[in-house]
Amino acid sequence: MNELSLADRTPSEVRALIRNGVWARPTSGLSNGYAQANLVILPQNIAYDFLLFCQRNPKPCPLLEVLDTGSPFVKQLANGADIRTDIPKYRIYRHGELSEEVATIGDYWQEDFVSFLIGCSFSFEQALLENNLPVRQIEEQCNVPMYRTNIACAPAGVFSGPVVVSMRPMTEKQAIRAVQVTSRYPSVHGAPIHFGNPAQIGISDLAHPDFGDPVPIRDGEIPVFWACGVTPQAAVMNSKPEIAITHAPGHMFITDQKDTAYSIL
């Protein structure tokens, strides 16, 4: 079984394979056309601050669904899916430090856990590709390069930190079309927040991203920067909560919602 053989399977079929331990690898390319989501689980005592942080920073932190306190069951994004088992790999963080990677989190579950599902740029990348716009890290089969910027998020309670951006190189003409295409997806990061000179947003060296892999920028191309879903995770780690659980990078929650459902036009 490989990515290709699962590209056309429904999200509920793929989640069943994940739940049963048959699929334990990254989710890129699975259930093609369906939105995937980032996961952050926090105890209730800091959930208000996190919800407020996301409200104040909607471009990097687009909340798709927040589960009821103590409930592991998804409703809007995939009715009845179990957030404790339906993701291939999880990370447990204690006091902001990675403590272990696990396949299920039933053993770690607390009655005061609140689960946040956050939008992911996978959703608009499909639209970029359909518009013949380059998505370099897909061409290069690596991770998207991500950078900390000098743009501060609006803080909320215990949460603060810089906006993290992802970068995709393209020509100016392509960048103009990319602004149009991604503006249609305000709930999955929306339009870029910068293009051109990286120093202007505090990025000193594109060849050394803070997260992910570097990608080549070809002659005639400029870097184009989008607010990135790593921003809320970085803010959570900064705040060093007693416990926090996230998906492992690339091992996302596959929803029943089509990517196109997040397009407002």
Q: Which of 16, 52, 206, 222 binds a second copy (CB under 8 A)?
A: 52
**Alpha helices, DSSP H only, in 151-201?**
172-183
CA angle (19, 20, 23) in 5-degree steps: 80
> Minimal distance in Å, beta carbon 49 to a second copy?
10
The residues facing 102 across adjacent strands are: 90
> Minimal distance in Å, beta carbon 72 to a second copy?
17
Phi-psi region at 118: left, alpha or beta (left = phi > 0; alpha = psi -120 to 50): beta
Nearer to a second copy, 10 or 69 (CB): 69
Task: Take residue 178 and report the two structure tokens written for it.
Answer: 């990319």
| Span 186-205, contacts to a second copy by CB under 8 A | 186-187, 190-191
Spatial contact of 251 and 89, defined as CB atoms under 8 Å apart: yes
The span of 50-58, 104-112, 196-204, 240-248 binding a second copy (CB under 8 A) equals 50-58
Distance CA 26, CA 20 (A): 15
Distance CA 93, CA 80 (A): 26
> Minimal distance in Å, beta carbon 260 to a second copy?
14
Nearer to a second copy, 207 or 265 (CB): 265
The span of 34-42, 60-68, 91-99, 141-149 binding a second copy (CB under 8 A) equals 60-68
Residue 202 neighbours by CB distance under 10 Å: 14
Q: Which residues bind a second copy (CB under 8 A)?
A: 47-48, 51-52, 54-56, 63, 65-66, 75-76, 154, 183, 186-187, 190-191, 264-265
